[in-house]
Structure 1
Amino acid sequence: MSFLLRLTSPLSGRQVGTDRFGTVYYESRAKQAIYNRTRRWAIFAKGTDPTVVPPEWHAWLHHTVSEPLSETKRYPWQLDHQPNLTGTAHAYRPAGHDYVGGTRRVTGGDYEAWTPGS
């Protein structure tokens, strides 16, 4: 996040709230003429990865709901929000992937690998 955005956000918008990860959410004071609605944005606590925005705040950012949803109403079956793990050591890798050992399950025997010149 740029220093200028952090500096001007409290001046050009009002702070709506903060999520459990420390991300602060703002809404512009005036409506945009072209969309006839306010602009909404977030200042992330760590880095600039937008996948850390929880679903409750994502709905508010994209104007799906008019007010932010409650983060405290949680059901026992709900898991904590996780950011996108692609490219990290915790990314999903199916059986047969090179990082998991590289051995895939045996096929029906009808597969022949292509070799150049044959």
Structure 2
Amino acid sequence: MPVLLRLHSALFGRKVGTDRFGNVYFESKSKQPIYNRTRRWAIFAKGGDPTVVPPEWHAWLHHTTEAPLPEAKRYPWQKEHLPNLTGTAHSYRPAGHDYVGGARPVTTGDYEAWTPGS
């Protein structure tokens, strides 16, 4: 984590909480004069990927809620939050993707590839 961000958080922010992934959330001690509200930010536990922020804290970061939503209440149909997996081995690959086998599904037969000059 950048040293300046830690220093800024210690001097100008107050710690609000930590989520189950280890991300730490801060709020500025004073209100911004333009928006008349505090600034909110997060220090990520693993790198600088903002997609690791769970929905409970995302709502608080964007001033949708005044306080972070409780993380304890989980329903059986709720899935665990996952960060954006694009570019990883776990990313979504539909049927016909080169990494899945590269076989495109058969179409209705009306597809004709474009060739230059025709």
Please say whether Structure 1 and Structure 2 have the same fold, judged by a TM-score greater than 0.5: yes
State the match for 1:3 in structure 2: 3
Task: Tell me if 1:50 matches 2:50.
Answer: yes
Structure 2 CA distance for aligned equivalents of residues 8 and 106 of structure 1:
57
Correspondence for 1:74: 74
Using structure 2 for the length normalisation, give the TM-score. Answer: 0.95
Deviations 1:73-104 (A, max 9, x none): 11111111000001111111110111111111
Give the Å deviation of 1:39.
0.3
Q: CA deviation at 1:8?
A: 2.2
CA RMSD of aligned residues (A): 1.1
Structure 2: which 5+ residue stretches go unaligned?
none
1:28 aligned partner = 28
**After the TM superposition, which parts of structure 1 deviate over 4 Å for at least 4 consecutive aligned residues?**
none
Could you tell me the percent identity over the aligned residues?
Answer: 80
Report whether the alignment pairs 1:19 with 2:13: no
Which residue in 2 is equivalent to 1:39?
Answer: 39
Residue ranges of structure 1 left out of the alignment (5+ in a row): none
* Deviation readout 1:15-44 (Å, 9 max, x if unpaired): 000000000000000000000000000001
State the SS of the aligned residue for 1:116: coil
**Corresponding letter in the other structure for 2:82:** Q
Q: Distance in 2 between matches of 1:114 and 1:13?
A: 59
Structure 2 CA distance for aligned equivalents of residues 26 and 72 of structure 1:
21
SS of the residue 1:77 aligns to: coil
